[in-house]
Chains A and B, each alone.
Chain A
């Protein structure tokens, strides 16, 4: 077994080998079948998040394929209208709630943030495990319902009254509403973990102005999650109450309001878009830095751009609702806000270009994905200008122009960076390199396929094709464009297949990566690939924005933590000066049981409002098990005068 100290790889001394064995003994994840459910280390949970979210990406992608088949011919009957409505709702809801947010925010930050800030685990590791199980159970529930012909069919935003008790038949909208609840809880949990990890667990020396841009992005997103999700918590809960509890929040006949739902939903729904692509832009910043071989140009401007995007994202939700008829003064405000948010995004784009222009560009696969990102994401941003202008929006809103726009923004802003991120960090996670040849092949297929599929949607939208139609009439002049789009899907499909082949081959027989194959600058590259269950043999300290590039010849390491417990160092938020020690809780199966009990309560509430009331009892029991104090650590704490709780 080898490891590195910060910056340089050295052979292990005898003492270090002993230390590594001791750390492994203390931090190792439990083995065996039951052990699988006890795991609490962030790399374990993070890997599971990535794999699960990717499976949902594939599922939603396959649904899209069937939709493209249906739309390739006018008045086709491959899918009935009922099936099509379920397919597009499942596609949208899966992509947004089970793929994009869990992948770009939860998966990436759970795996990478603790490594990048140089600590041994994520804050609240048991909560982390709980959030993962809840997310998986929510996803499974949603797809089991779909297989039972109870798939959500009211669109990913399930407007009332269409999804309300009078028009949403059966239990379909209820399963949708509870899927939202599941993903809310898991995203909120991870948001809290990320904020605490970044604010309190950074390596000494990593002051605010030295935090990697990727980590900054995830912190901004964590705060956005915390402030935006209450909106959808309310709207989906009120929807469920209207449907199962007999409330009338959204029933205009007795004074309820259908527009209230839209305001609540978009209060969350618009920041959601930024929640999805801010991690993407943060990935691009990382890749551009590494493959331009220089520090990011305009670090401070980039951070400010991320933070201001996070704020501004809350000021433009109404641009999803222009067609409802908005007073002109409000229209003007939301137009201005929607256009102004282009400025911070522009700042990011110009900083990346400046970095590339003043660096040496290495064209490995991750960089190709970043370059593809420019082509796609910038176009998505610019078509957003059409939607910001109220009169133009009223013509293109809810047409295929919008479908094209948000696929350029979201695939450009999240999926291109995601593939870049996977190729970039694959060596860190698995210890092996992906094939460069297959990687570039799948990039080019994806790039061509993407543009073939989605560019014509702009045109077909301008020709009047509304979105969410299961078919269209032959004389509308939309047929050829739709057929081109469907052909593009084939390229996308092949690209993802090749990507999967590449992953499976490389996992077995890829070239060994070593700790830092890209000679990158952030801390996750300072440990072995894959990282051990204690992350770093020597906890690093930081001397600059790119910790490894800026390390001093004798960069100090953190010593003095107890090696017989899962202890870690806490540092101050601003300057990352060490200010205390604490212990992480041990692996346990209780989060799994708690997630199972919570799942029972959530699913129960689909059928009766008593589900939550009665379901709270097993949840409480499992929580008691989860938080039951252990004698040994408690005594150790008392002895060492550590008073913080688990």
Chain B
């Protein structure tokens, strides 16, 4: 049997959507983590890091049950959209956003925290608003971290398996991602196609990571001169 290109395309769409959403959503969270002086800040940091240590089955379970049609939150979602979160592309997007959150937020926050505070202070003394300082000082100086975070959340979503297996329902073109496709082929003894697909995913993921690390090694290629 041939490689399931539909699954590849679907996975790519999922990964692009998730990393784009996380870029927007992750910036304010990372900013707050980097600059807040609230004494309970570590609690939010712990929450953000949770998906790294939690098994995907926990997240999958909550999407199925706590966000399912038997819960108030799930009923609200169904009233809003007309369908359950499970078995839909948007369900996979939401699950993946939660699951990849630390892979975006942590590099963002680390690069914000690494920006020289004197530059931000200088910008403020010149009369720039905090928002303007952020966009003209902090953000441009953090570009390597933004690229790392976005690429990691992209690659992590490409390789996601457990959550999709639990809530996806394996629908071709909707929720059958590459990792599920590989799993199915192995279960059905189609090792040849499983091998081809796995190799392709391996090469693709390696290429993404190599590009990211290569870029970060030479920050002058993309970032401002240091």
**Chain A bound to chain B:** no
Chain B residues close to A by CB (< 8 Å): none
